[in-house]
Amino acid sequence: MLAGGRVRRGLRRRVWAFAAMLMVGLLLASAPMGAQQDPFRWMDFHASKDQDIVAWVTRSLLLDDWTAIREIGVQYDAALVVTTKRAQADAAANADTVTVWTVSLTSHDRALLLTGVNLRWLDFMRFTENGPEPAALYDSCRECAVETYFTAFHYVARNHAWSARWMRNGQGVPVWSTNTPTGMVWTQTYAGLAEPDGRALMGTWNRFDYGPQKPVDDFLFVYDVDPNSGLERTRRLSGAEAEALKLRVCRVQDVLPGVARGQDGPLCQTVIPKAERKPVTTPPANAQGKSTPLGAKRRN
């Protein structure tokens, strides 16, 4: 009798073990191979090991309006995807509309993060303790009074999806504009900056000069992530903090490479003599109007 009980218990253990293995297999089969990978990695469209991800993302976006999938980056169970839309077959590639999506790798859910043109990937930037994030500049339009925006993309664990930082009215941080109103002089500069602890932030300085009609208006903003709450912040500075930011965004040695503009312009000349400054490539040297991320293979 005792021996029979041991046999039954052993059989139940084997049945439960088999059921557990079957469940794991079903879970793995429900998502494309590679969806659980970490850290972030750009997919290689020509590599056989990434074809399951490419096929999954393509199927997820079948009902959306796009001409080509340009980039797919994966972390955990979500893909960061860049698609382009070409208005006409013979249109220039740099006129494409760019859309950035988050696509689930465990279902076919997707959500639009932003739309613009002339997407330029920057070096990864770290805004939290969770590690560096893909960051980018992009424009509002091609043949218009261009507005340039900055954002960074981060994986949100509770949503199992990607999100774009500092989004307001569908756009990221406004860092540059060619849409100057009449009756005033608008000068501007911006820079990505690093804090002593290695965290990054974006600093912007805009000056509106109305001539003799009214005093000059200076607007200095910092865009960062609160280290305590993890929430994105937009802060307008004043007083001593504003004066300190003027120096930081204008000192070439303080700015993050490729994430700055206007340091050689008239606004920075008001706080740093020209003899003390070195020229900054304006616009950023890697702003080539192409959406191929840093380190990825160029695809034709």
- Per-residue pLDDT 10s for the chain (300 aa) are 445 555 455 545 554 544 444 443 444 444 444 444 468 999 999 999 999 999 999 999 999 999 999 999 999 999 999 999 998 776 676 779 999 999 999 999 999 999 999 999 999 999 999 999 999 999 999 888 999 999 999 999 999 999 999 999 999 999 999 998 888 899 999 999 999 999 999 999 999 999 888 899 999 999 999 999 999 999 999 999 999 999 999 999 999 999 999 999 999 999 987 645 455 545 554 444 444 444 444 444
DSSP state of 168: B
Query: Long-range contact list for 134-140, CB < 8 A, 24+ apart?
Result: 134/40, 134/73, 134/80, 134/293, 135/192, 135/259, 137/175, 137/259, 137/284, 137/287, 138/98, 138/114, 138/172, 140/116, 140/171
Q: Quote the pTM value.
A: 0.79
DSSP H or E segment with residue 239: helix 239-250
